[in-house]
Structure 1
Amino acid sequence: MNRPSRSQSPPAEAERLREAFAEAALDVTPSVVPMAAIERAGRRLKRRRRAAVLGATCGVLLAPLAVVVLQGGISPDESERVAPPAGSSGPSPSVSAERAGKVRVVTPGERVEVSPGTEIWLTEDGKHWSEPDQPTQFRSVTDGNLDLSGPGVSLQESGQEGGVSFLSGVFYGQGEPARVDIETVAGDIDGTALTLAGRPGWGVWYAEVKVPESVTSSSDPPTGVTEKVTVYDSAGGVIASQEYPT
């Protein structure tokens, strides 16, 4: 007598399971992929990466600029505040550069050549000078002829060949000389001051001037050339000044 089989073979049972799973899968509807959200997330990521790259690049570029500003010690705004206003000028010195060097400190007896054959030298008792074909001359500051208690300027003039006049004198007053202005019939000129070391309160001034025939006096060589002599200190103050009628 034949009895039914208690179990099926393994291959037949596996095949039935695959068919059952396939039928179940056909009944499942897949969800929609969120493409829009994925694209938005991708764009945000790109922006973040771009911002990070730009930030790093700016940092590299700004670092040398910061070093330059720190080394210079001044910012662009500060440089504008430091610069003087347009049209303004700084303080000018009392004695211009072209007039500097018109004062000499000499030792007693040191001879200063004014021109060939003309010399001046100072001693403690006054002014000495010599001219071509002339004896040595002297102007004392100790014989009482000059009142050194107040400011003053003396004058000696002598005409030389070629219409040239040699002008000189003694000046005295308070202060250290820095320049000498001389007004003449031929125009204003700069003189030279000579002083002894130690500031004795007096000194000597001199100049030579070419006098045109149109303004010269009737005398030959010309005389009456000097109109005014003023001696200034370095601050522009007047040490001594004297006018002379011509």
Structure 2
Amino acid sequence: MNHPFRSARPPAEAERLREAFTEAAYDVTPSAVPLAAIEREGRRRRRRRRTAVLGAACGALLVPLAVVVLRDGVPSGPSERVKPPAAGAGTPSPSPSAPAGQVRVVTPGERVQVAPGTKIWLTEEGKHWLEPGAPGAQFRSVSDGNLDMSKPGVSLQESGEEGGYFLSGIFHGKGEPARVEVTTVAGARNGTALTLAGKPGWGVWYLEMKIPKSLTSRDTMFGVTKRVTVYDSAGGVIASEEFTP
């Protein structure tokens, strides 16, 4: 079956259509470009970028400062609180004199200043001391038999002038000393004890104090000590001795 032949659009008609479309396009007026608005938007966006950059830089500077404050001002936990070491009992003190009213462990021959011009040192043989005006060191043995070391006991030496007294002696008994109580005519005071390391079974006690003349005997400046008692850490008595004025 043969199809009827369809010829192309005549050239004159196509030309008329192009002219009509061209005229219609000329009749359309484009709107003005908003240049001012575009410029304002550009400036606003640039300001936003600068603000963001400055904020990031300030944050970078503040972070290390905050870390320093936290490290220096706020400990991270109780375990980091550093406490000062306490003076341990039973260890020699580096000070030239023993703290009053305490017990100090010394090494053999270590000289301890116990009063102005007065020094005491211990050896395995006994107590040595040197006082102002004395021709030389004095000695009291713990092994020559003058002290009965088989049972608890306390010895006494008194010296002084113008109301100032230095009281000392040897104590011996079982246990480690923790406190010395010295009862005088002026009342009870805490004495200081010196002992050698280990368990020697003896030590030295001493006390320096002022006693009014009205409380001492007119005939002698001595006889001011009434009793000396040495206690252990549990409050038990290691040795105690009463002295009659």
Checking the alignment, whether the CA contact within 8 Å between 2:101 and 2:190 is kept in structure 1 is no
Which deviates more from structure 2 when the two are superposed, residues 149-158 or residues 226-235?
A: 149-158
Structure 2 CA distance for aligned equivalents of residues 219 and 146 of structure 1: 28
AA partner of residue 216 (structure 2): T
State the identity as a percent: 70
168 and 193 in structure 1: CA distance in 2 versus 1, 3 angstrom threshold:
same
Match of 1:145 in 2: 146
TM-score (norm 2): 0.57
Where does residue 233 of structure 1 map in the other structure? 232
In the alignment, the residues of structure 1 paired with residue 199 and residue 236 of structure 2 have an alpha-carbon distance, to the nearest angstrom, of 17
Match of 2:118 in 1: 118
Q: Shift of residue 228 of structure 1?
A: 0.1
TM-score normalised to the size of structure 1? 0.57
Please show how residues 67-216 of structure 1 align to structure 2 within 5 Å. Answer: 102-134=102-134, 135-160=136-161, 162-216=162-216
Report the Cα distance in structure 2 between the residues aligned to 1:116 and 1:181, rounded to whole angstroms.
22
Looking at structure 2, the residues matched to 114 and 105 of structure 1 have their Cα atoms a distance apart, in angstroms, of 14
CA-CA distance at 1:101 after TM superposition = 6.3
| Corresponding position of 2:217 | 217
- Looking at structure 1, the residues matched to 234 and 186 of structure 2 have their Cα atoms a distance apart, in angstroms, of 28
The answer on whether the counterparts of 2:129 and 2:137 sit within 8 Å (CA) in structure 1 is yes
CA distance in 1, matches of 2:215, 2:196: 36
How far off its partner does 1:209 sit?
1.7
Deviation string 1:4-29 (CA, Å, 9 cap, x unpaired) is xxxxxxxxxxxxxxxxxxxxxxxxxx
Q: Structure 1: which 5+ residue stretches go unaligned?
A: 1-98
CA contact (8 A) 2:101 2:191 kept: no
Count of aligned residue pairs for this structure pair: 146
- RMSD between aligned alpha carbons? 1.6
**Using a 3 Å threshold, how does the CA distance of structure 1 residues 100 and 184 change in structure 2: closer, same or farther?**
closer
CA-to-aligned-CA distance 1:82-106 (integer Å, 9 cap, x gap): xxxxxxxxxxxxxxxxx99600000
Q: Give the drift of 1:116.
A: 1.5
Q: Quick one: distance in 2 between partners of 1:198 and 1:151? A: 18
Query: Secondary structure of 2:179's partner?
Result: strand
Amino acid in structure 1 at the alignment position of 2:198: G
1:114 deviates by 1.1
